Structure 1
């Protein structure tokens, strides 16, 4: 069985590591190429985009891919939509229900499974403020943070323009690679990648006089320490919601074990049992 993982997450790497040990399985992971020095998974890796839906469909056909696992970042909405369309039977890109269910609806369809880690949830002592997108998050952060104080932004190196018009606050921006967008007049950039510790995050917040944390609802354990640190310090958190799906959603599992079981079902000639 030839499996393509659309990766870039810890879960994708864990799945690839498990699949390389599966008898008769060949695994290839696709990375978008947006990180200069990505953590590479086990098995074959291809880096760079496919060229849209048509390019991904051509790759699936050329490689004889028999199953696709979308294990991209929860905010990679465009890639997920491309996967839905590419895995559908030709001519059924707007209605790919058969392919999504792991029961091909016609020649040329490819079963598509999704591996998405659950989002974070607030607990006792948390002060969370939901935002639908980054412009709304920037507005909320300005309302919560007094002038002259710090805002910690951990939403990545792109789409920072909503914060750039603020001259009254200092922005601590953390990303894996240098930001590619316009930045606020008062800012500090920290290049780092998780996992992080609560002690380290607490020291960072204190050192930069941070009064508000802005983050995406990415979920997972690698970067959750910043939320624990914010709770410890009594700081509000502006949480950017995940983008809503704009089309059909494939069967989705929250962990590697569930996807592995589904792929084994496909390899045995059956269907991917839907998640409970």
Structure 2
């Protein structure tokens, strides 16, 4: 039985008579065990984290088709600024082009006419009510790939991203951010990416400005916070650090492979 109370952020661009949001929320409430989830509506004027609740576990976004009116134009921005530990579910009423890579599950509800028992809504509700993270618990490898910590090697297998071996001192961070991170005994990027936004914000004297610095620096490397790395540190850690030529070759290879991974549709 799940004992943790979930925080679920919602962003609805559809009018009440066409939106599935109420049906999804009712289904989640009906299936949840333990403390009932907290639903909080968010938008760009009400940023994360949500009041004193902290970052949400889930973000549910409801949109119309790509051809719908412009009042829903900012939904991609709401997803873009969401905390990285939040699993994003996109519910659409029709075709959506260029689904953001942050979306973990995209559900097309074309043909839904207000039936709260729709199997697609039931599937989303069961996953959320069970407290099951689409990436972090169901598929550790898929989550690490999505966050850049692992890369494909072309034959169906994966490897650690060599950029995890970069030292924090080599990142373009302010002296203040470097100092705070160093005090936490975080030496390599591979140590840093395994921390969540919430964990970093709990560090004294850290703050959102320094969090933004770190996220930007990691983004330049194609990485995200909150990764679970199955084999960190690697067994041949010292050898990898000492073999500069091999590491450089792997970094060159990873640039190509990460681009290829980003083109893959990791949402369900």
Say which structure is richer in strand: 1
TM over 0.5: no
Say which structure is richer in helix: 2
Normalising by the smaller structure, the TM-score range is under 0.3
